[in-house]
Amino acid sequence: MGDKEISALATVLLERVGELAKEMAARIRAGSRDYHYDVVPAEELEEACRAHLRNALQALTGQVRLDTEAAERIGRRRALQNVPLSTVMTAYRIGVKYFWEAAVAEATRTSLVESDKLVAVASTMSELQDSITEAMVSGYHDVVAQRHLASEHERSALVEALLEGRSMDTDAVWSAAEVLGVPHTGPFTLVAAEVPEAGRQALPEVAALLSRRGIRSAWRLRPDLQLGIVYLRTPRDLDDLVEVLRHHAEQRVGVSPSYDNLCRTGDALRFAKVAMRGGDAESGTVTVFDDSPVAVSAAGAPDVMARVATNVLGPIEALPVGERELLLDTLEVWIGCGGSAEEAAKRLYVHPNTVRMRLRRIAERTGRSLTDPRGITELSLALRAVRQTPKPLSSESTSTTETADS
């Protein structure tokens, strides 16, 4: 079939475009229950049908190129009207079906196109409608993306205001809770996570990961930290939160004590940062403030604890790297095993007597008894202070030696 036949059919249909648009709008109304008059006025829907029909038919005449800007504008308009995209797509399918039926009826009535050649007409019309539909969807998605970005900016700004502890009246706090998608009252907890590098998330997709477990949260990325306000619906939520954090954290993460009022978020941030600093500087430790009194005590006054660490563990720190790490690792495992040499030996894959020998070496060099509660407390605090301090690059060998066991 030649282009002249398509052009002739389109020209005839153009003369009836007002009539066709009115019928198309009526069919869309009848076939799409969600396309309510109070959302999309009847005149507006009819004008949209007229614009699409005129655009497609003019392109079919071959006189002008298909203009997709009108479809983009309509897509944006429907998004602004909060018409679901699925509803808009249903309307387009109904409209295309009617367009084809009208073309077939006109071709049959005027004999402009023979029935066995209508397939070619259908193919051409389908290509045009695909382009129009794609443009509409693109416009719709543009608005959705802009809204999402604006919403994220608003959420981020509100989280920042809460983190900074800005004074907010009751109405402002309620509004903030609604925008953030959390209840007006807690319990909440604050999560502080070290970022691997400036501007890079420490916990990518953490909000989605928590949401899958029914936990609501709102997050803010700062140059050095990723911070999150988390709503704890049940005590189990804290366990689930920590499990997610431990599974995904690569840097240190701190979890604050729970609090009930969003206005106390700034205070919770201080506790979360102390808990974060309480973790080992060289690992992705998750430290819960209320569960780690020794770690947070050591992190609460880093300058003071640095002095304590020097006074208590200075003689150990002065040893070669391999021997030093062997003794400190043994002390850490022994404390973690509740002071049991047998349990520590299992974790270290050595004989219990080897553990006892290393502990005696620590006691001799530090002057602290590992049978005296005061000595154990001082060594525990000093050890946490050492672990919380990032190690500088050293030219010494970091290979483990057995010097401490000799």
Which tens digit of pLDDT belongs to each residue from 124-162? Answer: 777 778 888 888 888 888 877 666 555 566 666 777 777
Structure-token pair, residue 284: 């992705």
Give the count of alpha carbons within 13 A of 174, CB side only.
Answer: 3
Q: Which amino acid is at 136?
A: M
Domain 301-405 has CATH 1.10.10.2840: yes
Q: What is the pLDDT of residue 209?
A: 92
Residues of the chain with pLDDT under 70: 1-3, 32-38, 113-121, 145-156, 165-176, 179-180, 281-282, 284, 293-304, 388, 390-406
How wide is the angle at C-alpha 253 spanned by C-alphas 249 and 258, nearest 5°? 125
Q: What is the pLDDT of residue 350?
A: 92
Residue 2 falls in which region: left (phi positive, over 0), alpha (psi -120 to 50) or beta: beta
CATH level 3 topology of 170-299: Alpha-Beta Plaits (3.30.70)
- Domain map (residue ranges) of the chain: 3-146, 170-299, 301-405
Q: Which residue has the tokens 């021997």?
A: 323
Which tens digit of pLDDT belongs to each residue from 317-349? Answer: 888 888 888 998 898 899 888 889 999 999 999
Strand locations in 256-323 (E): 259-261, 286-288
Q: What is the pLDDT of residue 402?
A: 46
Domain 3-146 has CATH 3.30.450: no
Q: What is the pLDDT of residue 390?
A: 62
Q: What is the pLDDT of residue 406?
A: 54
DSSP 19-53: HHHHHHHHHHHHH-TT--TTTS-HHHHHHHHHHHH
Collect all residues with Cβ–Cβ distance below 8 Å to 72 and sequence separation of at least 6: 135, 136, 138, 139, 142
